[in-house]
Amino acid sequence: MRRVLDTVGVIQIDSVNVLVRSQELPLFSRLGNHPRTLIPEATARGEMYEYWCHAASHLPVSHHPLSRLRMERARMSGDNVWSGVSNAAKKNPGLVAEILARIESTPEGIVAGDVRTRTGPKGQWWDWDQGKAILEWLFWTGQVTARRRSNDFARVYMAVHHAIPAEVLKTKVPSPEETQRQLLLLAARSHGIATLTDLADYHHQKPTESRSALQSLVDDGSLLEVSVQVRLLLPSLHRDLEERAIVDE
């Protein structure tokens, strides 16, 4: 599983469950039959963490410093945070502090039901009450992290220091420019060959803000710029070229 995670870099999480939940399919397609406990066990060991990446995703814990820029921007400006989540936090600072303190004092973590504020019946789909919305705010801004409860897919919200190894938390956060470069390079490593849009979207970056970082990676030789001749709608890469290549649109 470590090899798969190192190769793809991101395992997207989704509750869609036709055969198995979506996050299990990358492992089945690459490993075949395997223990279905691999992801939760790796998370419990501190090898993986969950955060918003391409979408809600499992990521190698070594990538955690690269998520902190997005966490900080979410906390400072609400960047990319759903309005219902950010509004709940703004309107209820006391409840935010109360819920955060409860998580910090509960090593095993809490679930949304532990901080329920709803008095009436729940509506359809994501009809979150204020407690759940604030949990998501704390998660989005990196003030807490989360694991998945095996029986019902619910997030278990945990203090960061209870889930992320101390040596990772001590790692210096790269500058915004270097964070962008490293994320693009990781995406290129997983793609093999890709356009600017492909690489930016892999970690939910904006292509317009990623172009200069991409060019710097080409300029310093980290990525190769190649042309692709499309035949039968399938791009091809010459066998003598290095796998880590980039096609700029």
DSSP string, the chain: -HHHHHHH--EE----BSSSBGGGHHHHHHH-S--TTHHHHHHHTTSEEEEESSSEEEEEGGGHHHHHHHHHHHHHH-TT--HHHHHHHHH-HHHHHHHHHHHHT-TT-B-GGGG----S---SSS---HHHHHHHHHHHTTSEEEEE-TTT--EEEEEHHHHS-HHHHTSPPPPHHHHHHHHHHHHHHHHSS--HHHHHHHTT--HHHHHHHHHHHHHTTSSEE-----BTTB----TTS-S-EE---
Residue 18 has pLDDT above 70, yes or no: no
Residue 96 has pLDDT above 60, yes or no: yes
User: Mean pLDDT of all residues in the chain?
Assistant: 85
**C-alpha neighbours within 13 Å on the C-beta side of residue 65:** 16
The larger pLDDT score, comparing residue 118 to residue 3, is at 3
| For the ranges 6-15, 29-38, 162-171, the one whose mean pLDDT is highest | 162-171
Report the percentage of the chain scoring pLDDT > 70: 84
CA-closest candidate to residue 184, choices 175, 194, 174: 194
Q: 45 to each of 48, 61, 222, how far by Cα in Å?
A: 8, 10, 32
Residue 238 has what pLDDT?
Answer: 41
Query: In this structure, what token pair is assigned to residue 22?
Result: 């979506």
Residue 121 has what pLDDT?
Answer: 64
Query: In this structure, what token pair is assigned to residue 212?
Result: 């200069």
Residue 234 has pLDDT above 70, yes or no: no
Residue 233 has what pLDDT?
Answer: 46
- Across the range 42-47, mean pLDDT stands at 90
Residue 64 has pLDDT above 60, yes or no: yes
**Calpha distance 161→61 (Å, rounded):** 13
Residue 180 has what pLDDT?
Answer: 96
**C-alpha neighbours within 13 Å on the C-beta side of residue 192:** 10
Residue 244 has what pLDDT?
Answer: 47
Residues linked to residue 145 through DSSP beta bridges, in sequence order: 158
**Calpha distance 1→7 (Å, rounded):** 10
Residue 226 has what pLDDT?
Answer: 85
CA-closest candidate to residue 210, choices 183, 228, 243: 183
pLDDT tens by residue, 161-218: 999 999 999 999 999 999 999 999 999 999 888 999 999 999 999 999 999 999 999 9
The domain spans of the chain are 2-169, 176-246
Q: 50 to each of 124, 142, 145, 238, how far by Cα in Å?
A: 25, 10, 7, 36
Per-residue confidence band for 34, with pLDDT thresholds at 50, 70 and 90: confident
Report the percentage of the chain scoring pLDDT > 90: 55
**Calpha distance 104→54 (Å, rounded):** 28
- Whether 246 contacts 224, CB under 8 Å: yes
Query: In this structure, what token pair is assigned to residue 213?
Result: 């970082």
